Amino acid sequence: MGTTLTFAKALNTALADEMEADPTVVVFGEDVGALGGVFRITDGLTARFGEERCFDTPLAESGIMGMAVGMAMNGLRPVVEMQFDAFAYPAFEQVVSHVAKMPNRTRGKVKLPLVIRIPYAGGIGGVEHHCDSSESYYAHTPGLTVVSPATVPDAYTMLREAIRHPDPVVFLEPKKLYWSKEDLELEALRSSAGSFGRAVVAREGTDATLITYGPSVSTALNAAAAAAEEGRSLEVVDVRSIVPFDDETVSASVRKTGRAVVIAEAPGFASVASEIVARVQERCFHSLAAPVLRVTGFDIPYPAPKLEHFYLPSVDRILDAVDELQWEDA
């Protein structure tokens, strides 16, 4: 029988299922215990599993991450919550210097199977330090797996796979999707194999490919639906995994359509979007009918809530980019 789950509840269920299946999984962070987290992702876990396995920490992100490193080195599988994306920066030194490097530093003798959960990106009207798109920092750091789900089923399966992963995973959760809902077969999802590290074609199309991930997938799908009303067929590829990057799926789509637009909320300069453009140009050059374009956030600090809608990629901005793909040569 089908179950209606929100994105947030899917993450909560994934945590509970992994904690039930593996006693080494521990969850901690600021206000994740009795409160259940700011977004209630850890709701009920302390009551069910006890304070030794889901507990609150002091407001000290560097300490949270350092503790997670020690736990992972000694046989546990910590899942830490950074309360908001920009709150994670005090822990960045630990992530870069220790989380990402420990397995390499020890020639693989010391594994760090830990997950860093980060509510990220915009769309909720958050004030300064509460909305940021920080994926490029983590993607640029060798040794980290970086993923971002965009659907309720992916929220569940990808978090479970991240917890089981032998290496550290930065798990980016789009805040604006927490309240989205989908009907799904939860028991079937629990037994599914998943496809960690792989992109998926979220919508089939023939004229151009929209390449995106996380919070921008729904916007890209809306743009494709609007384009269809005007007779233009746009394919949408949900990258899902930023690192490792699924060149095979992305390149196959671009070779089929011959045109591409990359969409992301983060600023465009030196970004994940820039990397995707470069990879597509390198691998699909002879199939391209036009340069690969980008629709991203602007190269400015994240704006105040009332200006957010000007900053974020929109359906109109995406369709404007699609119109620039040299259709006169088609």
Residues designated catalytic:
130
User: Residue holding tokens 């746009």?
Assistant: 234
Cβ atoms of 184 and 7 within 8 Å: the answer is no
DSSP H or E stretch at residue 218: helix 217-229
The separation between the first and the last C-alpha atoms of the chain, rounded to the nearest angstrom, is 47
Question: Which long-range CB contacts under 8 A does 195-198 form with residues at least 24 apart?
Answer: 196/147, 196/157, 196/158, 196/161, 196/162, 196/165, 196/241, 197/145, 197/147, 197/241, 197/244, 197/246, 198/240, 198/241, 198/246, 198/249
Helices and strands: H and E segment counts in the chain:
13, 14
DSSP H or E stretch at residue 116: strand 115-120
Distance, in Å, from the CA atom of 299 to the CA atom of 175, rounded to the nearest integer, reads 21
Distance, in Å, from the CA atom of 69 to the CA atom of 168, rounded to the nearest integer, reads 10
Distance, in Å, from the CA atom of 1 to the CA atom of 183, rounded to the nearest integer, reads 10
3-state secondary structure of 241: strand
Q: Which residues contact 108 (CB under 8 A, 6 or more apart)?
A: none
